[in-house]
Structures are given as C-alpha cells and as structure tokens.
Amino acid sequence: MKSAPTSLDRLRAEIEHRNPAQPEFHQAVREVLETLAPVLAARPEYAEPGLVERLVEPERQIIFRVPWQDDHGRVHVNRGFRVEFNSALGPYKGGLRFHPSVNLGIIKFLGFEQVFKNALTGLGIGGGKGGSDFDPRGRSDAEVMRFCQSFMTELYRHIGEHTDVPAGDIGVGGREIGYLFGQYRRITNRWEAGVLTGKGAGWGGSLIRPEATGYGNVLFAEAMLRERGEDLEGQTVVVSGSGNVAIHAVRKLAALGANPVTCSDSGGYVVDEKGIDVELLQQIKEVERGRVSDYAQRRGASATFVPVERGRVWEVPADVALPSATQNELGEDDAATLVRNGVKAVSEGANMPTTPQAVRLLQQAGVAFGPGKAANAGGVAVSALEMAQNASRSAWPAERVERELARIMTDIHTTCAQTAERYEAPGDYVTGANIAGFERVADAMLAQGVI
C-alpha cells in the first residue's frame, strides 16, 4: 500500500506544476526536499511560516532582450536572465553563464543551488544566477564586447555591491567580466568595484580567484579521502571539462602529487598517460580558444583523443573522478563504470553534474561523494573575499587568499560531515550539505519575518 503524500511531496508536486518544462530546476529542488524531512521533524518552527515554500520561490526573476550587432552589421537578439533567489544572508551572489543551452529553468536551478552553496561558505552572501543564450564561441572580441555592453545596459539597473553581485560562469571569463564592468562604469559614472567579481587583479580583482573553484574542489576531495585514511598523492584522477574549473583542478592535483590523466570538451576527451600538461591545455583553451583534440595532436604519443561518439571520459580507470563540465554529465551507467574500475571518491567541480540515479549508485557502492554545493564552493568563497578587498580598497597577497580558501573548504567539509552525523546519515555529504545550508538560510529568514 502506498504511503500518504507528505507536505514535502505536495510541495514538490506544486513546484513542478507552477514551473513547467524546467526539469533542471525540478531536479535541484527535489534533491534538497528529499533530505529535509529529518530537520523539519526536529525543528517544527521551520514548517510554520511557510518557510520552505518561500525558500523554493525566487524573490525576483528578470528576463530581458539583448540586441547586438556582429562584425558584418547583422543584428542578433538574445535573451538575458537574472534570477535573484534569496537574500536572507546577504546580497544576491552568483555567476553569469553565456551558453546556447541557457533558459529560465537552468538559471533557476543554478540560483537555487547557489543559495545553499553560499550559505555553506559562512561569508554572508545570498544566492542568485544569471546569463544568456548567447554563444561566445567563435565570436570575435569586438562581437563579445558589443554583446556584453548590450547585456549590461539592461542588467545594470538590477545589480549593485549591496544588492546583487554577479561573477563569471561557463562562457564568462576575464574578458567578458572586463567588458561588463566597463559598461557598468560608463552607464553609472561610478567606480563600484564590488558590483562584479572575477575582475582582473590589476583593477580590483583578487589573486587566486581564477583558480579558486578548481583548487577548492580538489581540497574537498582530499578532505573526503583523509576521512578514509588516504590522500591524493599517487592517485589517478579523471577530470571532465577543459574550462577554468578543470584546468585549475588539474594544476592543483599535480601539485598534491596526484596524476590527472584526462580532460574533455563537447567534441570528446583526451587521456594522457603522462598526466595532463596544464600549461599546454591552458594555452590551447584560454589563449587560442581551441579544442582538446588540438591538445592531443600537440602533446605527442602519450595523449590519445577519443571522439564523443566513440567513448566517454568516465571509462578511463581512476581512483578519483572530478566532473567539472556541466549539469547531468555523469549518468547512472557512467557511475557503474567508475565503480567497476575501483573509484574511491567523486567530487563535483560543476553544478549538479551527476544525475540523481548516479549519486545513489555511487553512495550505495561506498564511494565518497562530494556534492557541488559543497565541493565547488571555493569559487564563490574567493569572490566574497574579493568583495571584502574591494570594500576596504585593498589587495591581499596570493598566500593569504589561498590560506583563506583552504580554511573555508576545510570548514565546509567539517560542517557537512558533522551535520550528516547529527542527522544519523554518517558519510552522506549530500544530506549534510543540504541540511547545513538550509539551517543557515532558514534561521535568517525566521529572524527577518515573512517577507
């Protein structure tokens, strides 16, 4: 006999009804709601003022037109988004994503995840996310500049250092942040350094910010291994992606004595027996804006390129896996392959890159699993440190920033582990991250009333 639906079941059904055709948002909300029953039972005050209902509804959703001209004078029209999800802990904070796949549902899923991720840092920042279905790949610098200027011409009225502080994400790196900041400054006639993070180090940015997400994910993976009496030295690691997060994850893995052997993009993956040459990868991807197939051609005999139609990066045997590309890239079959090959830990460098079925399979197999809202919080943590530097008009040395990043990632790991233990789910970092983030946001929402 089926059990009666709970209040959380009814809320989930209502969310799916009110937000049709947004599967990524449904998935993100479902994953959190499935872990909240114990905390709502232990602390019934969270259920009374419609707190969970308010938490899953964005405070503000902004959609706007972005017209721009290409180098041939043709006019294009893209769609821009900013979802300001929750500001109970501080100004909305979260990146901008420029990619053809961007739509409202994806931005809402990312913003919802960001609420919990930012809460886990303990740094007083709310959650939001934005972006556009614009594809910067293959566009000239001048075209990217004109798009960014048009995008900011609308976005500027919704952001500010005390209101909403965007950063970069997929498709938005230092180049795009520079163009966006320049247009904001031009429109407002203010040097408001704290309005955007991920800026260049010479004009208000923080050292270690480009490296922070990848570094932080590696540090979280190592913390999970230490709980089991191991470390990263000598471990073989598969990394997906070849963007900012993957590149700096590879760099940090090598520094800690691990052997990162893969990288990937939409065309396929590379396996390099000698370990990925991070300088060559960074030159190809960030300077030349090339493909990982180019890396294989230039690396020599140790590297093999496997096209996407012939295989998946998760087929490469490894001790540790770091999915660092995009959402739902690691499915149930991939997880089964990793388990068969003896993987010990999976730590998410991207946002929700592992499907729910894959997460369950990994956990059931005893694999240490670090969810993105905990494992990849290093980027937003250093963004918050960048905001602190901007507020005092100071610049911290790299050693201080990296030391703070390591402390924050250690604290996040400890918080997740202890919270999971407190709710009788030892070793379950998903439950620990969801409940710990929820408690911090919920306490602030209760204190501030029904708004």
Structure tokens at 253: 């893995």
CA distance 203 to 210: 14
Alpha helices in 19-77, H assignment, sequence order: 23-42, 51-55
CA distances from 58 to 84, 103, 114, 237, 383 (A): 6, 15, 12, 37, 22
3-state class (DSSP) for residue 238: strand
**Can you state the angle between helices 104-121 and 378-392, rounded to 10 degrees?**
70
Q: What is the CB neighbour count within 10 angstroms for residue 387? A: 24
CA-based nearest residue to 273, from 281, 263, 257, 261: 261
3-state class (DSSP) for residue 367: coil
Q: Which residues belong to the active site?
A: 129
At 268, give phi and psi (nearest 5°): 150, -160
CA distance 98 to 105: 14
With beta carbons less than 8 A apart as the criterion, state whether 79 and 105 touch: no
Encode 154-184: b = buried (16+ Cβ within 10 Å), e = exposed: ebbebbbbeebbbbbbbbbbbbbbbbbbebb
Alpha helices in 256-329, H assignment, sequence order: 278-282, 292-299
3-state class (DSSP) for residue 78: strand
